[in-house]
Amino acid sequence: MSQSFQPSIRTFEFERDYSAVRSLWQHSGPGIQLSSSDEAQEIQKKLERDPDLFLVAEVGGHVVGTVLGGFDGRRGIVYHLAVAPRVRRRGLGRALMEAVEARLLAKGCLKYYLLVTKDNADALAFYEDFGCDLMALHVLGKRIG
């Protein structure tokens, strides 16, 4: 990252950050697909499990990036890596991923997964450059609530 661009990365704080993070997710482009699990009450439930895996990056007191990780004791998952369009291509996405990886590893996580929509070529290229392997899988889901 350039010397004039010095973001800080810290743990997400619900009251302080939720509105700004939600707005970032909404304006980050089609790669972030929001659902009911991103509503305030669902994020609060997520924070009960592993709050240290939800990170924000800020510059001048403004949230400009975020990544949300999870760990179930066996595998990790990364959700919603988002960087504000005005600060992209400065290494912030990489810094957020390195930070969440370090925290996952500290919890004993040896492998994590992440989902990228098929039409998001930029994200696929970013993650492959970051060392992630494209896996030949079908992703299935079922809404139960």
Return the HEC string of the chain. CCCCCCCEEEECCHHHHHHHHHHHHHCCCCCCCCCHHHCHHHHHHHHHHCHHHEEEEEECCEEEEEEEEEECCCCEEEEEEEECHHHCCCCHHHHHHHHHHHHHHHCCCCCEEECCCCCCHHHHHHHHHCCCCCCCCCCCCCCCC
Domain of residue 56 covers 8-129
* pLDDT attached to residue 28: 87
Q: Is 137 inside a domain boundary? A: no
Q: Which of 51, 53, 87, 83 is nearest to 66 (CA)?
A: 83
What are φ and ψ of residue 115, in 5° steps? -115, 135
pLDDT of 4: 65
**Interatomic CA distance for residues 51 and 96, integer angstroms:** 15
75: domain CATH number?
Answer: 3.40.630.30
Q: State which residues of the chain have pLDDT below 70.
A: 1-4
Report if residue 114 sits inside a domain: yes
Q: What is the pLDDT of residue 32?
A: 86
Question: Does the pTM exceed 0.85?
Answer: yes
Domain count, the chain: 1
* Alpha-carbon span 46 to 131, nearest angstrom: 27
136 found inside a domain: no
Residue 60 maps to a domain: yes
Say if CB 128 and CB 116 are below 8 A apart: no
Contact yes or no for 82/123 (Cβ under 8 A) = no
Which residue bears the tokens 């973001």?
7
In a domain, 53, yes or no: yes
Question: Is position 62 within any domain?
Answer: yes
